[in-house]
């Protein structure tokens, strides 16, 4: 009798598990639905800066100033290094990002530490749809409306998020840049 009950119980338990899983949408359904949707959702581009500046490029406007570099497992810039202030204007420029199939809400998000913020320094996020290579002054840039807050130490990271203007969506040639500028007398540090 025990054998008979166990032979009946096993298929009933298996049927119960299969029935319970029927209400869960299958992954292929979600992918099929996204494939039929011309808008793309998710991450368009990502860089960790853990070991290098990755696919980003650096452009310096000042010949004697400091430049963006990979330090402390992040992208790093400061106009004050080795106990010396130098006037610095430098760009950290992303590769081209294709937003031609973007939805109506796309944003730039990054973690940062900002120390020694001064009124004469600029830490900005800029975006362009006509930058190709070389001097950023040859392109049209829009400064995104973002205010970075100064931190109190070098271990607490803040998160910045700012929307990309809708007029730049549906464009296949979007470039994002972190722009830093300081004078020769005072400088901030931005990671």
Give residue-wise pLDDT tens across range 150-167: 999 999 999 999 999 998
Give dist(CA 90, CA 145) in Å, integer: 19
Phi, psi of 188 (to 5 degrees): -100, 170
pLDDT recorded at residue 37: 47
pLDDT recorded at residue 30: 33
* CB of 187 closer than 8 Å to CB of 88: yes
Give dist(CA 144, CA 5) in Å, integer: 69
Reference 86, options 190, 189, 191, 186; nearest CA is 186
Give residue-wise pLDDT tens across range 99-134: 998 877 899 999 999 999 988 899 999 999 999 999
Reference 191, options 161, 158, 167, 168; nearest CA is 158
pLDDT recorded at residue 92: 98
Q: What is the SS3 string spanning 113-159?
A: CEECCCCCCEEEEEEECCCCCCCHHHCCCEECCCCCCCCCCCCCCEE
pLDDT recorded at residue 82: 87
Reference 182, options 113, 64, 86, 115; nearest CA is 86
Say what the pTM is: 0.77
Give dist(CA 100, CA 147) in Å, integer: 28
Q: What H or E segment, with its residue span, contains residue 9?
A: helix 2-21
Reference 92, options 106, 80, 75, 105; nearest CA is 75
Q: Which residues of the chain, if any, have pLDDT below 70?
A: 1-41
């Amino acid at each position: 009798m025990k054998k008979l009950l166990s032979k009946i119980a096993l298929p009933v338990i298996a049927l119960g598990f299969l029935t319970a899983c029927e209400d869960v949408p299958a992954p292929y359904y979600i992918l099929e639905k996204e494939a039929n949707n011309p808008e793309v959702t998710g991450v368009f581009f990502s860089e960790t800066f853990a070991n290098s500046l990755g696919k980003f490029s650096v452009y310096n406007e000042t010949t004697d100033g400091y430049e963006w570099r990979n330090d402390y497992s992040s992208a790093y810039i400061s106009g004050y290094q080795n106990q010396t202030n130098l006037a610095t204007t430098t760009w950290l420029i992303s590769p081209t990002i294709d937003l031609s199939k973007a939805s109506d809400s796309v944003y730039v998000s990054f973690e940062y530490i900002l120390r020694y913020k001064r009124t004469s320094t600029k830490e900005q996020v800029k975006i362009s749809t006509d930058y190709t290579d070389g001097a950023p002054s040859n392109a049209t840039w829009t400064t995104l409306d973002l205010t970075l807050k100064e931190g109190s130490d070098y271990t607490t990271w803040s998160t910045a998020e700012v929307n990309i203007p809708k007029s730049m969506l549906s464009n296949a040639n979007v470039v994002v840049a972190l722009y830093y500028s300081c004078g020769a007398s005072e400088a901030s540090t931005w990671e």
